[in-house]
Structure 1
Amino acid sequence: MSWKIDLVKDIFEEGEGSVILQTPISFMNSRDRLIWHGTKDGSFSVSSSSHMEKDKELEVKGQVSTSNSFKGVWNKIWQLHTTSSEKMFLWRACQDSLPIYVNLFKRKVVSDPLRPICTREEESTLHALWNCEAAKDICCLCSKKLHKSSSSHLTMLVFFETLIEVLNADELQEFVVVARQLWLRRNSCIFNNHFMPPNVFLRESRLRLEMLSEKGQPQIHSRDHQLCSSAKVWQVPPLNWFKVNWDGAVDQAKGIIGIGVIIRYDKGQTIATMRQKKTFFPDTQLAESYGALVAAQFARDVGLSQIVMEGDSLQVTKALQEEHEA
């Protein structure tokens, strides 16, 4: 049994025909069947064809189409000093799997691929997070290296790969935080008709970066660097004063925060305690801030005026000590 050489040459191009003719024929008299090389089991799937199409787009831009070529990018994403949600967001952005208008248009969910905010260009991932004028207004106020980074017409994956080569860890962290905040602002504009001004955007982004920086700092046990009530030894308040300690906990799965408050006299005697749980946005910093409010209200309800507030969030404590609104 052998190939029908003339028929193969007539049907297929020279390169394909040569590969076919070099393929050995089974002597088991088994029936022919179609094989899809995009999956391990040879079965066709829409997702595998989508991945192949993305690989071809990368090849056109001069990139290697194997996922191993971007292994360093994936490793860098998971090593970033950010939250899991921010890492997952960046991973989805690099995979081009965010529900941007270009993707929604391909799936016939929307009738127009133009970005709904600027309405000038099609909304690709990179356009939404970097190239749009609304995004540039923010990025130009970021770190010098960051706002000077050129994107050209790269994909988000290739663009982030270039950022890894020129930015340090702190600048990459800033990029991820700003990019996700831009995405949240974009969603708020589309679904809630609310567009966050640049000054408010920058303030929230800087607060977010400070929170990440605070969480990444090692615990230092010297007296000069103790963070609020993180000290192991409880510090007594002034004579005839009361100390109000509070703490917050977050259940991200259920969207619930828990607050605990204890009030003690200057000799250490417990005067009152309370605990409360509330359906709230599951953010640690918000939980601590809300806990400070609950603690102050609880002390007022008990009838105390000479109190010392003490929590374990440096950011919230600093905000309480400032004279102007935080």
Structure 2
Amino acid sequence: MNINHLFFADDNLLFYKANPLEWNRLIHLLEVYENASGQRLNKDKNSIYFSKNTNQEVKGIIVQIAEAKVAELIDQDTKAWNVQLIKDIFSEEEAASIQKIPISIYNSPDRIIWRGTNNGLFMIRSAYHMQNDIQQRNKGQSSCEKVKEQWGKLWSLAMPNTEILFMWKACNNNLPTKQNLFRKRIVEELDCPICLHEVESIEHDIWECESLRDVWGLCSMKVQKRSLQNQSFRELVFDLLEEMDDEILIEMVVMAWRLWKRRNEVVFQKEYTNPLIILNQTRQKLQDLRLLQSNTSVSTTRQVNCAEPMNQWKAPPNRHYEVNWDATIDQKKCTLWKMKKRTEGEGREL
């Protein structure tokens, strides 16, 4: 091959042996380059040249690989993969992967589909979410198992599901704070309805607002000493789930629920509840939960103690009678009685 000159300074010449395996390796290297650099190669401007002694059949196979479309790999008569053609063009591993792909029975034309959306059309927002999902998966299976364990501990707390559901929504930033409503263009202001000079976010509403300091300052010491430290509210709760016992967690959840209710009272009823009242309500709720848990434990213990095998029926002693009775009432209020007498194991109807 004689090379006279290159038209542009960024042109490249890549040499490889004329066989399908080398071609597939070259394509793989180019894909690695694209992924690493973030650039895409313009394949319409690429060209393939063969040396003069290259076999014509090999040329045809390589050109087929380079220009191959999905429809060309399908036998149009049987509507199945052309196995022999796939094996001729691709490596053994690639051919096996291709043959595992199911083929549509509707003979639809090839089209590009973006798997990040339901309609198959690309959207920047879907790419952002997909990237986040990939990053979460790259953190490893152990991280996912840890998150599941922490959610399980939250939902297993001995308290009503209302408070737990609230905490779950708060951790997932699903509460109607002004910050969230502003993103949905429902409100135009971001200020906290209580302190009036900070952005109302989940973290601010439940943890950081100046109006909360007196309330959190009167609860358990372990909760008092916690601070967000550039954490999200979800990260704070996950740390508490990992470090605190159930009693302190229940106190924290009940307190957060009461503070959110007070926020709603300010927004919708223009009423502000004193921090001491919030604290008393929280303590009363915790006392009720302990009493309920205690009664539940006693009831369970009684059920376990009473769960003894029932004695089988025995005939009454001689000259003693056992009478079983039942009554039914029909629409006309007529009563039908049925009685049975058993003595010494024998049954006689009266």
Q: Shorter-normalised TM-score: what interval?
A: 0.5 to 0.7
Q: What CA distance in whole angstroms lies between the structure 2 residues aligned with 1:199 and 1:100?
A: 24
Show CA shifts across 1:72-93 (max 9, x none). 2211111111101111101111
Whether 1:118 aligns to 2:213 is no
- Of 127, 134, 138, the residue aligned with 2:204 is 127
After the TM superposition, which segments of 4 or more aligned residues of structure 1 sit over 6 Å from their partners? 18-21, 43-50, 53-56, 63-66
> Do the aligned partners of 2:223 and 2:252 also contact (CA within 8 Å) in 1?
yes
SS in 2 for 1:128: helix
Q: TM-score with structure 2 length normalisation?
A: 0.51
Q: CA, structure 1 residues 35+68, in 2 after alignment: closer, same or farther (shift >3 Å)? A: farther
Within 5 A, what are the aligned runs for 1:40-189?
70-189=147-266
Q: What CA distance in whole angstroms lies between the structure 1 residues aligned with 2:71 and 2:157?
A: 54
- Of 28, 31, 45, the residue aligned with 2:110 is 31
Show CA shifts across 1:27-69 (max 9, x none). 3255232313367x8577999778668769x97xxx8898655
Q: CA, structure 1 residues 14+199, in 2 after alignment: closer, same or farther (shift >3 Å)? A: closer
Q: CA, structure 1 residues 179+25, in 2 after alignment: closer, same or farther (shift >3 Å)? A: farther
Q: What CA distance in whole angstroms lies between the structure 2 residues aligned with 1:20 and 1:170?
A: 62
Deviation, structure 1 residue 107: 0.5
Deviation, structure 1 residue 191: 0.8
Q: CA, structure 1 residues 142+170, in 2 after alignment: closer, same or farther (shift >3 Å)? A: same
Q: What CA distance in whole angstroms lies between the structure 1 residues aligned with 2:192 and 2:68?
A: 53
Deviation, structure 1 residue 137: 1.6
Which amino acid in the other structure matches residue 192 of structure 1? Q
SS in 2 for 1:203: helix
Deviation, structure 1 residue 218: 4.0
> Do the aligned partners of 2:116 and 2:126 also contact (CA within 8 Å) in 1?
no
Q: What CA distance in whole angstroms lies between the structure 2 residues aligned with 1:190 and 1:197?
A: 15
Q: What CA distance in whole angstroms lies between the structure 2 residues aligned with 1:82 and 1:198?
A: 22
Q: CA, structure 1 residues 176+13, in 2 after alignment: closer, same or farther (shift >3 Å)? A: same
Q: CA RMSD in A?
A: 4.2
Within 5 A, what are the aligned runs for 1:283-302?
none
Q: What CA distance in whole angstroms lies between the structure 2 residues aligned with 1:135 and 1:104?
A: 22
> Do the aligned partners of 1:101 and 1:123 also contact (CA within 8 Å) in 2?
yes
Show CA shifts across 1:297-323 (max 9, x none). xxxxxxxxxxxxxxxxxxxxxxxxxxx
Q: What CA distance in whole angstroms lies between the structure 1 residues aligned with 2:42 and 2:258?
A: 52
Percent of aligned pairs sharing the same letter: 28
Q: Which runs of 5+ in 1 are unaligned?
A: 223-326
Deviation, structure 1 residue 190: 1.0
Q: TM-score with structure 1 length normalisation?
A: 0.55
> Do the aligned partners of 1:115 and 1:122 also contact (CA within 8 Å) in 2?
yes
Q: Which runs of 5+ in 2 are unaligned?
A: 1-19, 44-66, 73-108, 300-350
**More off after superposition, 44-53 vs 205-214:** 44-53
Q: What CA distance in whole angstroms lies between the structure 2 residues aligned with 1:124 and 1:53?
A: 25
Using CA pairs under 8 Å that are at least 6 residues apart, name the structure with larger relative contact order, 1 or 2.
1
Which amino acid in the other structure matches residue 36 of structure 1? R
SS in 2 for 1:195: coil
Q: What CA distance in whole angstroms lies between the structure 2 residues aligned with 1:155 and 1:93?
A: 10
Deviation, structure 1 residue 152: 1.8
Q: CA, structure 1 residues 152+44, in 2 after alignment: closer, same or farther (shift >3 Å)? A: same
Q: What CA distance in whole angstroms lies between the structure 2 residues aligned with 1:53 and 1:104?
A: 25
> Do the aligned partners of 1:102 and 1:122 also contact (CA within 8 Å) in 2?
yes
Q: CA, structure 1 residues 54+135, in 2 after alignment: closer, same or farther (shift >3 Å)? A: farther
SS in 1 for 2:249: helix
> Do the aligned partners of 1:38 and 1:49 also contact (CA within 8 Å) in 2?
no
Deviation, structure 1 residue 15: 4.4
Q: CA, structure 1 residues 25+87, in 2 after alignment: closer, same or farther (shift >3 Å)? A: farther
| Residue number in structure 2 paired with 1:305 | none
Deviation, structure 1 residue 14: 4.1
Show CA shifts across 1:200-234 (max 9, x none). 11111111111111111145879xxxxxxxxxxxx
